[in-house]
Structure 1
Amino acid sequence: MNISTRLFSVANMVDRCKTMADIGTDHGYIPIFLLKNSICEKAIASDINKGPVERAIKNIKEYGLEKKIQCRQGPGLSTLKPHEAQIVVIAGMGGHLIISILEEEEKIAHNLESIILQPVQHSMILRKYLYENGYKIIDEDLCVDEGKYYEIIKVRYDGVKRVLEDIYYEISPFLIEKKHLLLKEYIIKKIQQNDKILVHIDEGTELASDRKRELINRNKKLKELLTCL
């Protein structure tokens, strides 16, 4: 089956396993893709809303996988039993929501072999949370889909809390080390976005002045990273 570049990049992070779970599954495309490509033996497609679950059921039946993929309705990781799945995918959500999902079912999250996260926004906040709350980042990837950049973060809980420089919460050390092909243009886009914000900042208040200094300093750090690529 054909899936989007974003979903393919997420699925590509999933290791071979007996059972994976897709949280916020929407159409069920990731579990279907993984089963069709023999990456996992079974899957759980879960979503908090009825509509996405119904769409997933329809698509799963079309591919004849209803005996291998279970569909469940409920919030976050609450639809899973302890040790039921080895790998979980949480994709297409904001960073804050992903954090709340991990916190609400810590016992489940902490015992997974790996978790594949794909935030649509606030990836810096999510990455900082992961490092500082005992999640080891195993790998990261970056893709462009329909003109938008998406970061994919693969983690495992090991209980070790880590503190990095702020710039490495924004730009993944893994992507820097890999010299990822998309990283240079991704950083340039971030600098341009910051420049647009800077133009419209009125320094009439102390808060605005602080924000301006923050963005100028951030752009300086981003430009320094560019010299390493």
Structure 2
Amino acid sequence: MDISYRLRCIGDMVEKCNCIADIGTDHAYLPIYLVEKGLCKTVIASDINKGPVEKAKRNVAFSHMEDKIQCRLGPGLTTISKNEIDVAIIAGMGGNLIRDIIEESMDIFKNLHYVILQPVQNADVLRRYICESGYKILDEELCKDENKYYEIIKIKYDHKLETLDDDIYYEVSKKLLEKKHPLLKEYICFKIKKYDKIVNSIVNITELAKVRKVQLEKRIMKLKEMLKCL
């Protein structure tokens, strides 16, 4: 199946396993791709909305994979039984929502081999939650698809709590810095440009505006320091 570059990057982080749950599956493109590539034997394609589930069912039937891919309707991992899956993928949602999904089904998440997360926003909120809730970051990936950047985080529960030595590393991954990811310099420059624009738009002289401006200027400075390491 021909899928987006974003989904392909997520698929590239999957190691061979028995059963994967794709949460927020939408059209079931990723489950079909994973089965086609032989990365898993079966997939549970789950979505909270009836429309996407019906589309997923049609795509699965068209691909003749009804015996390998189950489509289920429901929020988060409420459609999954304990020990039913080895791996979970949660992609295309905000970091806050992904955090809430993990919290609601902690008994399932703790037993998984690994989980792949792809937040569309608030990746810093999600990364902080991961570090402070006993999850280990196994790997991270960064991709650009249709002029948008996507962070992909692979984690596993290991009981150890971690606090990063600087808040900036919740926003820009240490893993990506260590790997000197080829897209990271461009991504950091994108962030600097975005924050510069916000700083220049702050004309209000209230105390709150002054504090916000100082916070952003400090963040820009830290991001520029990161560029020196790449």
TM, length-normalised to structure 1: 0.99
Q: Tell me what 1:133 maps to.
A: 133
| Amino acid paired to 1:7 | L
Shift of 1:213: 0.7
Query: What is the distance in 2 between the residues matched to 1:22 and 1:55?
Result: 15
Q: Counterparts in 2 of 1:25-104, with a 5 A limit?
A: 25-104=25-104
Q: Tell me what 2:205 maps to.
A: 204
For the aligned residues, what is the CA RMSD? 0.7
Question: 1:110 and 2:110 equivalent?
Answer: yes
Question: Any idea what the Cα deviations from partners look like across 1:150-195, whole Å, max 9, x if unmatched?
Answer: 0000001111110001011011011101110100000000000000
Question: Any idea what the Cα deviations from partners look like across 1:3-60, whole Å, max 9, x if unmatched?
Answer: 1010001111111000001000000011100000100001100001100100100001
Provide runs of 4+ in structure 1 moved above 4 Å. none
Shift of 1:204: 1.7
Any stretches of 5+ residues in structure 2 without a counterpart? none
Q: Tell me what 1:23 maps to.
A: 23
Query: What is the distance in 2 between the residues matched to 1:189 and 1:202?
Result: 22
Query: What is the distance in 1 between the residues matched to 2:162 and 2:209?
Result: 31
Q: Tell me what 2:170 maps to.
A: 169
Q: Tell me what 2:228 maps to.
A: 227
Shift of 1:202: 2.6
Shift of 1:214: 0.6
Question: Any idea what the Cα deviations from partners look like across 1:186-218, whole Å, max 9, x if unmatched?
Answer: 000000000000011134211111111111000
| Amino acid paired to 1:15 | E
Number of aligned pairs?
229
Query: What is the distance in 1 between the residues matched to 2:31 and 2:20?
Result: 8
2:144 counterpart SS class: strand
Query: What is the distance in 1 between the residues matched to 2:56 and 2:2?
Result: 16
Q: Tell me what 2:182 maps to.
A: 181
1:143 counterpart SS class: strand
Query: What is the distance in 1 between the residues matched to 2:122 and 2:110?
Result: 22
Any stretches of 5+ residues in structure 1 without a counterpart? none
2:182 counterpart SS class: coil
| Amino acid paired to 2:120 | V
| Amino acid paired to 2:107 | K
TM, length-normalised to structure 2: 0.98
2:78 counterpart SS class: helix
